Amino acid sequence: MSGSLLEQFIEAFRVLPGVGQKTAQRMAYHLLERDRAGGKRLAETLAQALERIGHCAMCRDFTESEICATCASASRDRQQLCVVESPVDRLAIEQATGYRGLYFVLQGRLSPLDGIGPRELGLDLLSARLAQGGVEELIIATNPTVEGEATAHYLAQLARQHGVRPSRPTHGVPLGGELEYVDRGTLAHAFGSRSEMA
């Protein structure tokens, strides 16, 4: 990487989504001028997180353990499995609804043009999990975008192959919207009034 250390420091912030040159400059200068101790804490925590946080062997969510706390919990309903695109979507559902089942986190959505197919989303792992039995309903909570809908249809076919009923949250989530940005009341209603997929 070329440039002075200050230029490299500013540029490093630009890896974050939505952070352009001006915002990166403000962040870098803030840490240098006002909060060097906070910057050191941030650097240490960032290094530890990138080193120690991986994926749950069952649901693919982020965790420091082999199995995350949700999958390990004996109080969760193992007959329901909710598929989401990202950990942020899982968190939104967990906070906005009374859902007590388990999750499967795709870490993306089908997008052949970007080279993201079933393998990249861990659908072999999901298929093996459904084949074990015990799951009665696969709640497909992918975002209502073009790729999200294509992913949902693929998942519904996968569920039916294993004799599992696929369902989808219905009312209130706008087409093209992202679950992460839907308000809690709307998300709770959509999740509570899901319908079986055709």
Q: 140-192, pLDDT tens digit by residue?
A: 999 888 899 899 999 999 999 999 999 988 655 555 556 665 656 666 656 65
DSSP, collapsed to helix, strand or coil, labels residue 161 as helix
Residue ranges and CATH numbers for the domains of the chain are 5-52 (1.10.8.420), 62-196 (3.40.1360.10)
Torsional sign, CA 157, 147, 70, 187: negative
Q: 1-18, pLDDT tens digit by residue?
A: 567 999 999 999 999 989
Give the pLDDT confidence score for residue 197 in this predicted structure.
61
Tokens 């899901």 correspond to 194
Among candidate residues 71, 50, 54, the one with its CA nearest the CA of residue 62: 54
With vertex at residue 28, the alpha carbon angle to CA 26 and CA 34, rounded to the nearest 5 degrees, is: 85
Q: Global pTM? A: 0.77
C-beta of residue 174 within 8 angstroms of C-beta of residue 79:
no
Give the pLDDT confidence score for residue 78 in this predicted structure.
95
Cα 133 to Cα 33, 129, 155, 159, distances in angstroms: 58, 7, 16, 11
C-beta of residue 84 within 8 angstroms of C-beta of residue 179:
yes
Q: 85-141, pLDDT tens digit by residue?
A: 999 999 989 988 889 999 999 999 998 888 898 999 999 999 999 999 999 999 999
* Residue 108 to residue 122: CA distance in whole angstroms: 10
DSSP, collapsed to helix, strand or coil, labels residue 94 as helix
123: Cβ contacts below 8 Å, ≥ 6 apart: 106, 154, 155, 158
Which helix (H) or strand (E) is 188 found in, with range?
helix 184-192
Q: How many CA atoms lie within 13 A of 39 on its CB side?
A: 14
